[in-house]
Amino acid sequence: MLPDFRLETYFSRWEFNAKYNICASDAETISVQELLEGANEDDLRLWDNLTLAYTETYGSPVLREAIADTYDNMDPSDIITFTGAEEGIFAAMHALLSADDHAIVLTPNYQSAETIPASICEVTGIALDPTNNWELDIDLIQQAIKPNTKLISFNFPHNPTGKILSIDKLNQLISIARTNGIYIFSDEVYRLLERDDSIRLPQVADIYEKALSLNVTSKAYGLPGLRIGWIACKDHDLLDALERTKHYLSICNSGPSEVLTVIALHARDWILQKNRKLVADNLEHLNTFFAGYPELFDWTPPDGGCVGYPRYKGKEGVEQFCTLLVQKSGVLLLPASVYRSALTETPKDHFRIGYGRKNMIEGLKIMENHVNRYCRV
């Protein structure tokens, strides 16, 4: 049986009760009307002629074509869609792994990246180094490989740290996987929100034949209500296994969500431009805030995505800090306990902050007032 999903349990209590959610991991959303105003004529006809019927388990052909166009080397036949990225993670781990296999995952992590494979087979955790800006030691990956290692799973830009692996290290990981016949599961949901375009990584399915690249409308596009995610992969036998796994889950996506996703992907330039500007502007506000409290926070601007993972040095500890902040001031952050791992030690003095939404600045001002009133070194 899977354990409680700590992040979602925490959000169940606070996400819609706190006045200022400044730990959200998505970019600013838009209304359906705004999205439709950006649609081309062909896409508007799709919307106008939409029926509320079942859709194909793989996803509609027009949706898979729109998704494939966001890759360099993918065809529509290389794409399968899901009801969000979470379903994609669940389906991939169950389609790929069996009890006799071994998987390698990174920590800290989005919990299901660890707990789902760990419910199926043996899993080794490799910790990103919090003392070295969350760097990954590739030698530790090499040393963890066993004869039955089936999968290496990672997420860059990384949740919760915002770390992006160097292209040299990514190529080393791919080389290790290829040499050993290992699949790679690459969670790329924060891609396209890099602080600098020069450090944007390629989508791994474009460059490795045994890779699964996961993406979603929720993060960079700021459209989590659509609940559309996808996996790109050149292994069509594996895609068929994913389809059969999805038969036990959502079966198919929502038709309206599929059409709206097609519209969003065709209009992605202006959506991403808007979100990148907001993320960049908000990051400057965070840099200014944390620079004012060096005795309370250690902060390094994230490489990409729209979340960061600063260290809290106040005497009451990060768990109490986050609890009092939401209870007394209505500002929601995610404490380190949400990201603890059963596989490795993870830092206990960090918290996740999000900077993809417009109300972050207002919430940050309330947080500053709280810090000035309640926090001590």
Q: And the tokens for 54? A: 């079942």
Average pLDDT over residues 148-166: 98
Question: What digits encode the pLDDT tens for the residues 182-197?
Answer: 999 999 999 999 999 9
Quote the longest CA-to-CA distance of the chain.
Answer: 61
Q: What share of the chain is helix, strand, coil (3-state, %, to 5)?
A: 45, 15, 40
Residue given tokens 């970019």 in the structure block:
27
pLDDT higher than threshold 80 for residue 200: yes
Going along the chain from its start, the domains and CATH numbers come out as 6-31+270-374 (3.90.1150.10), 52-267 (3.40.640.10)
What is the reported pLDDT for 214? 98
Average pLDDT over residues 310-337: 98
Q: Nearest Cα to 293, choosing from 354, 236, 364, 209? A: 364
Average pLDDT over residues 337-357: 98
Percentage of residues in the chain having pLDDT higher than 70: 100
Average pLDDT over residues 353-367: 98
Question: What digits encode the pLDDT tens for the residues 104-122?
Answer: 999 999 999 999 999 999 9
Average pLDDT over residues 302-313: 98
pLDDT higher than threshold 80 for residue 286: yes
Residues near 253 by beta carbon (within 8 Å), at least 6 away in sequence: 55, 59, 81, 82, 83, 227, 228
Average pLDDT over residues 256-274: 98
Place 281 in a pLDDT band, splitting at 50, 70 and 90.
Answer: very high
What is the reported pLDDT for 118? 98
Question: What digits encode the pLDDT tens for the residues 231-249?
Answer: 999 999 999 999 999 999 9
What's this model's pTM, rounded to 2 decimal places? 0.97
Question: What digits encode the pLDDT tens for the residues 62-94?
Answer: 999 999 999 999 999 999 999 999 999 999 999
Give the CA distances from residue 194 to residues 99, 188, 306, in Å, rounded to whole numbers and listed in that order.
37, 12, 9
Reported as type and span, the H/E element at residue 214 is strand 211-216
What is the reported pLDDT for 322? 98
Please count the other Cβ atoms lying within 10 Å of the Cβ belonging to residue 341.
18
**CB of 120 within 8 A of CB of 1?**
no
Give the distance, in angstroms, between the CA of residue 190 and the centroid of all CA atoms in the same chain. 5
pLDDT higher than threshold 90 for residue 339: yes
The average confidence (pLDDT) of the chain is 97
Residue given tokens 């290692």 in the structure block:
149
pLDDT higher than threshold 90 for residue 251: yes
The answer to which of 188-192, 312-316, 373-377 has the lowest mean pLDDT is 373-377
What is the reported pLDDT for 108? 98
Give the CA distances from residue 268 to residues 205, 229, 265, 276, in Å, rounded to whole numbers and listed in that order.
20, 15, 5, 12
What is the reported pLDDT for 237? 98
What is the reported pLDDT for 376? 78
pLDDT higher than threshold 90 for residue 330: yes
